[in-house]
Chain A
């Protein structure tokens, strides 16, 4: 396993290098000049040229790339054009809201989807099963922003159970933090509940047909134990895989949700950076997301070792 871990961690390096080069190239291909955005509408051409030189954008493409790469090697993501701050510091500031939202979403999703999917598999074809299938089609097809505004309208504006928008950091206390985040987390989790409940249902339903489930019943075990310890435990690998994919996809999802609920996280930072053509921030955030993505995948692969003793690396 040690060898596997070393290999996998080494393998992340080329992935991140390729992502870095692609992002760097792509944002320079997109029309729009950061210097012009910073200079504003009233600026002269000289102003813009001066700002370009200040930002280093007048140098050749390869020189810029080399400079950025040099910074990366010493974990320096550069300076934001717009905020005039270190990108690493910016990401640090915005990390808590995004991680909080992602974490709460995943916890909610797993707590709801796994039991729901398991019960649906157990009563295959029953009312719960059919209701769940219907719900999941709905969950897949409603866009996050529609659902977000709908929930805000009902639960924040009409019923006044939750605040409309904003974020309270964890240091203000657990309840204020949770109270602020619950609505966005629910919004974001609907589609993942649909996805993970379906996968759980399929996976558990398959496990329920296995011989060892028959053995468990022949032992006179209570149905709950047959379902959890024998069926669900054996169905775990595909479920965890999809949860892993869900976490990765969520990173894309927070961009929209944070905008809808005005949460000052990485999602809003990305949107602001794109609008301001803030190249270093865009590069840094995307590289950071790619890094998270690779780490989540590694953790999922490692979790297999605990879920299935037959898997050895």
Chain B
């Protein structure tokens, strides 16, 4: 960016005040950065860093009780903070546009996609209905949506996540805004879709010279898309600079820590040998859903087809795949949360697929699950101690004994035993996931199933939880089935992986073999889509 051209967006010494009673007085403070035309600036930070607050401050969409307390936000020559609400509204959608994280919820479910673009055009332009229609179709074409006419008349729920995010992008860019704010636009998408959407944003932005403020927590995405990076921590600007400077020779410890926490996609060499008989053995598992019936056409969906694998004590087997690949279906069939349609599941000598409810009950304690969302998988009205001992007490362990074990488990997951009497809302996401692990371990299971157990966590916390799982596994000789969509995580924790697509295992083997020499085309595509794959991070370069 040359010195003579004024930046599109200029933020100077910005501070945003939170209402009294919040965990800190200022959501962000001393934030200063510029975004030039045709430039992509990434705001990088973990949860609570204040990155979204900055984007809402720029949009003028902060909640009523949150306000800018100091600093300046300029769009070209205009001081956004001095505008009236009506003037800001004129700018929104026209000069500044925004794409959000959740394509599933960001579109109005009761309006057709076409109508949602149409109302934007009729608000900000004087086009006729026919012109608006033509322009919308052309924009759908530009974001590479198939059959624009059909998409125009479709409701959001009839489209895939990737297609919905393309609708959002079309809506954001149709009026050629000077500034595009993208708030975690690919976080909720599958990795192959993410790669396509990132490429699309980059292409359109290049063509139109749009300034982009891109908010993300994902180092890989930053490596993929950014020109410059602003690193945030707890509302403070840690450092900023060109992408290569920040990611390859970071000045600050926090940035170094973030980079070091990104799991390398190349799996480490496998040292262990698992000679034992499998703890869990799955043979030709199938799950078919059928719908319809009386007066309606029958439809069958094959969620899992002929899935077979073993997990031995001390071993971690990963199932990787995108949404709809059937990986969670397999986990639910194994634990009999749903009944498999066909196939066998053996937990050592017990047949999990065939047993009666009674027989199953005894086996249930030997196989436990840690779920994805630590914010929703703990009962908010139950003290964490009660949550941990509920299982053992249910199986007849005396309360005192169960509590003593709970205290041990808290130590095992690196939490203080003294916090057992607290409620889940008093803990952070990472702490809650440790509690969930302690709860799963309270029944002394032989097999632990982790269903996207670290996906909702910040990278630094994710690294800690993964390390914890490895240590616990070594100590207890647990067999772990690790379900994830994140290839970097799988590369680090899994000894063997299964790659699933459309309910079928397309490839399986040791993680190192599969990742280094994938044989199936889909595996290759998945690996190629992992963001920042080709980028040499500072820490990775150092090791």
B131 at the interface (CB under 8 A from A): no
Interface residues of B in 84-140 (CB under 8 A from A): 89-94, 97-98, 100, 102, 105-111, 119-120, 123-124
Are the CB atoms of A234 and B105 closer together than 8 Å?
Answer: no
In the docked arrangement, what's the CA distance between A221 and B296, Å? 42
B463 at the interface (CB under 8 A from A): no
Stretch of A19-27, A134-142, A210-218 that contacts chain B = A210-218
Are the CB atoms of B89 and A3 closer together than 8 Å?
Answer: no
Are the CB atoms of A234 and B61 closer together than 8 Å?
Answer: no
- A60 to chain B: closest CB distance in Å? 40
Instruction: State which of A218, A222, A225, A233 has its C-beta within 8 Å of the C-beta of B110.
Output: A233
Are the CB atoms of A218 and B92 closer together than 8 Å?
Answer: yes
Are the CB atoms of B106 and A215 closer together than 8 Å?
Answer: yes
In the docked arrangement, what's the CA distance between A236 and B102, Å? 23
B155 at the interface (CB under 8 A from A): yes
A310 at the interface (CB under 8 A from B): yes
In the docked arrangement, what's the CA distance between A220 and B100, Å? 15
Interface residues of B in 36-92 (CB under 8 A from A): 59, 61, 89-92
Interface residues in A, total, Cβ within 8 A = 25
- A40 to chain B: closest CB distance in Å? 57
Are the CB atoms of B123 and A220 closer together than 8 Å?
Answer: yes
B221 at the interface (CB under 8 A from A): no
- A169 to chain B: closest CB distance in Å? 40
In the docked arrangement, what's the CA distance between A310 and B112, Å? 11
A31 at the interface (CB under 8 A from B): no
B296: chain A residues within 8 A (beta carbon): 3
Are the CB atoms of B90 and A212 closer together than 8 Å?
Answer: no
Interface centre among B59, B93, B94 (most CB of A within 10 A): B93
B295 at the interface (CB under 8 A from A): yes
Are the CB atoms of B106 and A234 closer together than 8 Å?
Answer: no
- A61 to chain B: closest CB distance in Å? 37
- A245 to chain B: closest CB distance in Å? 22
Interface residues of A in 179-233 (CB under 8 A from B): 210-212, 214-222, 225, 229-230, 233
A211: chain B residues within 8 A (beta carbon): 100, 102, 105-106
Chain B residue with minimal CB distance to A313? B296
Are the CB atoms of B93 and A218 closer together than 8 Å?
Answer: yes
A308 at the interface (CB under 8 A from B): yes
Interface centre among A210, A220, A225, A229 (most CB of B within 10 A): A220
Interface residues of B in 266-292 (CB under 8 A from A): none
A173 at the interface (CB under 8 A from B): no
Are the CB atoms of A220 and B124 closer together than 8 Å?
Answer: yes
Instruction: State which of A212, A230, A308 has its C-beta within 8 Å of the C-beta of B105.
Output: A212
A307 at the interface (CB under 8 A from B): yes
- A217 to chain B: closest CB distance in Å? 6
B191 at the interface (CB under 8 A from A): no
Are the CB atoms of A7 and B295 closer together than 8 Å?
Answer: yes
24 inter-chain pairs at a CB distance below 8 angstroms, sorted by A residue, are: A3-B294, A3-B295, A211-B102, A211-B105, A212-B106, A212-B107, A214-B106, A215-B100, A215-B106, A215-B108, A215-B171, A218-B98, A219-B119, A219-B123, A220-B90, A220-B92, A220-B94, A220-B124, A221-B120, A229-B108, A233-B108, A233-B111, A234-B108, A234-B109
Chain A residues within CB distance 8 Å of chain B:
3, 6-7, 210-212, 214-222, 225, 229-230, 233-234, 236, 307-310
Chain B residues within CB distance 8 Å of chain A:
59, 61, 89-94, 97-98, 100, 102, 105-111, 119-120, 123-124, 155, 157, 168, 171, 294-296
Closest 3 CB pairs of A and B: A220-B93, A220-B92, A3-B295
